[in-house]
Structure 1
Amino acid sequence: MFNGFGMGLGQLSRLSHAKTRSISPENFTGEKGKGGMATEGTGASCARDLGQGWKVSPSVLINKQSTLTMAEIHDSGVIQHIWLTCHPDTWRKLIFRIYWDGEENPSVEAPIGDFFCNGWCERSNVNSLPIAVNPAGGMNSYWEMPFRKAAKITVENISNDDIILYYQVDYTLTDLPEDVAYFHAQWNRTNPVSYKDVHTIIDGVKGHGHYVGTYIAWQVNSCGWWGEGEIKFYLDGDQEFPTICGTGTEDYFGGAWNWEQPKGEYCTYSTPYLGMHQVIKPDGLYRSQQRFGMYRWHVMDPIRFEEDLKVTIQALGWRSEGRYLPLQDDIASVAYWYQAEPHNAFPKMPGKDELEVI
């Protein structure tokens, strides 16, 4: 145990020499004693009668086709909490990236909405341990994110409109033990899944680490039940067959029997470690497909790997004569894991048309 890191409820009474800091539009650098000093910003007009110190800079404007450096830290420490909010229409148009220790390739890369378990650009509350999304669109991450030399968080606006973003990054400056790994997250989409193929959640991970979570935004493109597919974890040289094979989609996300409760209805739920928190129903006109949001956090049961990792999930339903039917659904996912650096560079993020929720 060392001070200021990994502090749960059982450690809250322990004293520490770690230094608490926070970056926001009211203190872009997180420097001690420099918060609330802005004299210009998005709140300047509202504060014109009150002046400096009265919410002059609560948010930022990210210009179209540009990238904002949301936070940049040059020290050793841990990001402990990230809060942000922006309009749901922007959630697939803002690309969230995090870089550790001056690396060129990001360790975290995902649309903002998907990273916070809201891939469909429609608000859905999440009540889990590492991710909390609260009314009306307050997005929170409590993933522990250590860094030894530096941390940089950027948000790229790939749209043709300027976007307002509110945010706060809370962190501590402290020393790290040698066995602490770096946080990673990667987005992927298969639209649609090819017949008799699978959706790949993550592939190409090389190194020593542990897998800690999955979020999936799933659109069903056919009638009938769609969640028979198995999730598979290929570890450390697995080829044709994985070491870990699930028993069904709703099973992996902690549910059972099609999530049907009461009969004829899907039952949403959001718990500390897993949930099926979002169901978007057809409206009988233009919204013709069912859409779902699901998460599974391996916080209490991380999946360890020494050399490499690949994770896939099947899209599988039912057809005549009690046979499985391979489906061709629209599936987007975010994989979350920790590993020692360096990491393999991610595939290039697709353009806004490929990201778009239609």
Structure 2
Amino acid sequence: MKRLGNIPELPVYLPDSEVKQFSSYDRSGGNDDGFSGKYSFVRKNEKGHLVIFDASSSGVIERIWTPTPTDDTLDFYFEGAASPSFSIKFRDLFSGAVSPFVHPLAGSKVGGFYSYIPIPYKDGCKVVLRGEKLMFYQIQYRTLGAAYRVQSFSGKTTADEQKLLRRVAESWADEDPTDISWLTKKTACIENELKLEPGKTLSFASLAEGGRVVGVQISPSRLFEGAYKQVDLRITWDGEEQPAINLPIADFFGFAFGSRSMKSKLMGATDAKLYCYLPMPFDRSARFELVYRENKLLEGQPVLSLKTSVFYTAEKRNIKQEGKLYAFWNSSQPAPGEPHLFLEGNGAGHYMGTLLQSQATEFSHFTEFFEGDDKTLIDGAMAIHGTGSEDYFNGGWYAQPGGWVEKLGTALHGCLDYSLPFSRTGGYRFYLTDKIPFNKSIQHSIEHGPEQNNRKVWYTSVAFYYANRPVQINHPPQNETAIVFQPDTLTFYTRLMQHLTYNGNIHLRDGSAVSEGADNAAMNISVAELQKGKYKVFLHQVKESDGNVEVSLAAGREPSGWKKVPLKDQDCYLGEIEIYDPAIPVSILFKNSDRKSLRFNRVMLVPYK
């Protein structure tokens, strides 16, 4: 429980322990990661109930996640007991109604239900769901060697444990992530006011003796917004040949597609400043730099006026027990059939955080790339196999009301952004208690698409880990990859997210919009996410037709005149509109004079370049 609130211990290794996971992933390699329930249990017991977790020896369950909790009872059997040692309704792991599963250490956000309350067990644990069906789930746990003293979970807490629980919960719920009142009197600060010119590199902190950085703040945060990520953060420990951290500053602090987004407990961006409180111990020296890349596509790059603060102590790294902080940045378009790699390499340490921006580069499959599973191989063996991308970030149900559809997060995890028209989303997750140790190697990746990495994407990720040396070398950011991809087609889907509303002789049938008969019909498109400007308008028919339809377009001003549109092409060009105010929906009026049936499943707006 103490580790839930102990950020200073993030660099500390957990020897003789392994992190593994039980989950409902499709063992056949398909996408049935919980829909049917076929893979959502280890086995059935003699009563027909579902055994969903079964581990021998000692360990601790560190994370439980599902988007589909039920009122069925969960029974926890410890130490080979014949009867349950602890029972609880599955839903009450997350409701906050049953101690010690209190908010926000357990709860729900963006469609997912999660619990980080540790459930230790000695000499084995079995978890049984008293029900006939379970859908999606993940139970992440840590095996513990003989040196660890373990007492099995009882559900009961002492007065001291309740006090600790309240203190940690209050810390997670703190809404001011830039508060530094926790700094001790032993903390010193290097403050600077800088003028950063294009093409220049400036050092904003340099330490010549061993110690540890405990906080970094940079302001104002607005300077790093926009599609062009021209400023890099570069951090080097102990004179190493390669920087430990070398990536666009916007990506390091959790921006999403050019805008401030993440406000986690550990790092992020407020309206005023960037902040990071990941502990950074080092042995002999530390150097913090800002690199301002020139870009020929940008005229008149401004000089940036910045304020920086680096908080540090003289406490040197314990070389045997702690790692140094490293971050690996990967902005790329993975080949079809190949996953996106968060981190891959040889060495020893532990993994503790992921930031991801996911962008489709084709625009007919909405955000279906987020069906992809995460996979983690530790020392050459599969340790964790997830059930979907939003699941990895403790969310659920992208493109569904109440689900993974908005920028929203918690202290450790959340959604960075979601836009169906732009075919993009992103998430963040930090591993506080559940950091993943590796002794020889790690391969941590995520798929892009329902099966076989079959969706074209551009993924940008940051992987955080602690180690004695880098596991994978960062290449310096280049202008070509340190940029926000701009889709050339903005797509609205008839069955998703209610961007489209219908009036008159048009209605939704089996996921498609259908207009039949000669009566007039109207469809409104919410364009609040779009910029002002001119757009070409297309609709995608379910299949080609031999008729015509008359169309009139409007965007808050006088509608265009009626235009006869042939339906011989599956993608029908309707005309052009100019959006003057994105708060005003675009309207498409139809007259089906041929009395032919018009059936379509998406509308596309293509901006003029």
Shorter chain as normaliser: what TM range? 0.7 to 0.9
Corresponding residue for residue 248 of structure 2: 111
Identity of aligned residues (%): 27
Aligned pair 1:130/2:266, yes or no? yes
Instruction: Provide the rounded CA distance (Å) in 2 between the counterparts of 1:97 and 1:115.
Output: 10
2:378 counterpart (216, 232, 235): 235
Corresponding residue for residue 39 of structure 1: none
Instruction: Provide the rounded CA distance (Å) in 2 between the counterparts of 1:170 and 1:297.
Output: 21
State the TM-score, normalized to the length of structure 1. 0.76
Corresponding residue for residue 142 of structure 1: 277
The 5-angstrom pairing of residues 133-212 of structure 1 reads: 133-136=269-272, 138-160=273-295, 161=301, 162-178=303-319, 179-191=321-333, 193-204=334-345, 206-212=346-352
Instruction: Provide the rounded CA distance (Å) in 2 between the counterparts of 1:267 and 1:142.
Output: 25
- Structure 1 residues 278-328: Cα deviation after superposition (integer angstroms, max 9, x where no partner): 23464xxxxxx23223101111200110011121110114xxxxx887111
Instruction: Provide the rounded CA distance (Å) in 2 between the counterparts of 1:108 and 1:306.
Output: 22
Corresponding residue for residue 424 of structure 2: 291
Instruction: Provide the rounded CA distance (Å) in 1 between the counterparts of 2:416 and 2:183.
Output: 38
Contact 2:390 2:427 in 1 (8 A): no
Contact 1:231 1:245 in 2 (8 A): yes
Contact 1:91 1:113 in 2 (8 A): no
Corresponding residue for residue 435 of structure 2: 302
- Structure 1 residues 243-297: Cα deviation after superposition (integer angstroms, max 9, x where no partner): 221111011000122263338x814321011100323464xxxxxx232231011
Instruction: Provide the rounded CA distance (Å) in 2 between the counterparts of 1:120 and 1:273.
Output: 20
Instruction: Provide the rounded CA distance (Å) in 1 between the counterparts of 2:351 and 2:471.
Output: 15
Instruction: Provide the rounded CA distance (Å) in 2 between the counterparts of 1:302 and 1:259.
Output: 30
Aligned pair 1:214/2:354, yes or no? yes
Deviation at 1:345, TM superposition (A): 5.9
Larger radius of gyration: 2
Would you say how many aligned residue pairs link Structure 1 and Structure 2?
299
Query: Residues 325 and 315 from structure 1, CA distance in 2 versus in 1: closer, same or farther, beyond 3 angstroms?
Result: closer
Corresponding residue for residue 333 of structure 1: 461
Instruction: Provide the rounded CA distance (Å) in 1 between the counterparts of 2:477 and 2:405.
Output: 32
Report the RMSD for the aligned CA atoms in angstroms. Answer: 2.9
Deviation at 1:152, TM superposition (A): 0.7
Corresponding residue for residue 208 of structure 2: 74
Aligned pair 1:351/2:490, yes or no? no
Q: Which has the larger displacement, 195-204 or 66-75?
A: 195-204
Stretches of structure 1 that go unaligned for 5 or more consecutive residues are: 26-58, 283-288, 318-322
Contact 2:194 2:307 in 1 (8 A): yes
> 1 or 2 for the larger relative contact order (CA 8 Å, sep ≥6)?
1
Deviation at 1:132, TM superposition (A): 3.1
Instruction: Provide the rounded CA distance (Å) in 2 between the counterparts of 1:353 and 1:219.
Output: 16
Contact 2:356 2:459 in 1 (8 A): yes
Instruction: Provide the rounded CA distance (Å) in 1 between the counterparts of 2:304 and 2:429.
Output: 30
Question: What code does the residue aligned with 2:277 have?
Answer: Y
1:61 counterpart (195, 220, 227): 195
Question: What code does the residue aligned with 2:380 have?
Answer: G
Q: Which has the larger displacement, 91-100 or 227-236?
A: 91-100
Corresponding residue for residue 278 of structure 1: 417
Deviation at 1:111, TM superposition (A): 0.7
Stretches of structure 2 that go unaligned for 5 or more consecutive residues are: 1-6, 11-166, 169-179, 296-300, 486-609
Deviation at 1:84, TM superposition (A): 1.1
- Runs (4+) off by over 4 Å: 7-10
Instruction: Provide the rounded CA distance (Å) in 2 between the counterparts of 1:167 and 1:244.
Output: 39
Contact 1:231 1:312 in 2 (8 A): yes
Instruction: Provide the rounded CA distance (Å) in 2 between the counterparts of 1:324 and 1:103.
Output: 38
Contact 1:261 1:267 in 2 (8 A): no
Question: What code does the residue aligned with 1:24 have?
Answer: E
Contact 2:358 2:426 in 1 (8 A): yes
Instruction: Provide the rounded CA distance (Å) in 1 between the counterparts of 2:240 and 2:288.
Output: 12
State the TM-score, normalized to the length of structure 2. 0.46
